[in-house]
Structure formats: C-alpha cells, structure tokens
Amino acid sequence: KGIFLGNVFCEIRTFEPKASVTQCYKCYGFDHTAIWCPKKQQICPYCSQSHKPTECLIRQENSVEQFKCPNCKEDQCHSAVDPLCPVYQEKFAYSQRSQHGH
C-alpha cells in the first residue's frame, strides 16, 4: 500500500500511537506542562533546588550519587528526567495501560 509523491513511492502504514508521559519543564512534575505549572519557581531536576538545570553544580560536577529527584523526594541517585525514576516508570506504565484500554 502506498502513494506516489511526485516520482517517489511512499509506503502507507497504519498509525500506531505510542505511550507517552507529559512532564513539566518548570517543576519536572507530571501530568501538566510548564505553561500550566502551579509552582512559582523553577525546580532543578537534578538536586530539587530552586534554580535552572543549567546552573546546577551537582550536574556540572556529574555527581550522580548526589542527584535528588523532586518527584521521589528521596536521595535516590537519579534525576527527574531519568527514565529509571520510579515515578516516571509508574506514569509510563499507566499511559501504556490507558492506550491499550486496560
């Protein structure tokens, strides 16, 4: 199955949506975007302090063992943008179940 665009044949496939997680790039929480973020200040995804990620000394030193995820609220040696974050994994699993109607 396909169509020609000019002289090029393009295959047509059925769209299959992928599971996704909405994450805010202001507070790094889930289920909202920065424009709708309830937080007044930027939260660093690496140390949970109130500064931009680019200003984080822990990140600059690559001190992974000091990372403190603002979602987990514990010193778990990962950032809020780490796909191994338990909160991220929970949200991703929920998104997959929702996509498949479970």
pLDDT per residue as tens digits for the range 4-62 = 888 888 888 876 666 688 999 999 999 999 999 999 999 999 999 999 999 999 999 98
| Cα distance between the two ends of the chain | 31
The answer to whether residue 102 scores a pLDDT higher than 60 is no
3-state helix, strand, coil in the chain (%, to 5): 25, 10, 65
| pLDDT band with cut points at 50, 70 and 90 for residue 90 | very high
| pLDDT band with cut points at 50, 70 and 90 for residue 96 | confident
Answer yes or no: pTM beyond 0.75.
no
List, in sequence order, every beta strand (DSSP E) within 1-102.
2-5, 8-11
| pLDDT band with cut points at 50, 70 and 90 for residue 3 | confident
* Structure letter (DSSP) for residue 51: S
Taking Cα atoms as reference points, which of 25, 100, 36, 102 lies closest to residue 70?
25
CA distance 11 to 71: 42
The answer to whether residue 89 scores a pLDDT higher than 60 is yes
CA distance 61 to 47: 12
Are 44 and 53 contacting, i.e. CB atoms less than 8 angstroms apart? yes
- pLDDT value, residue 17: 60
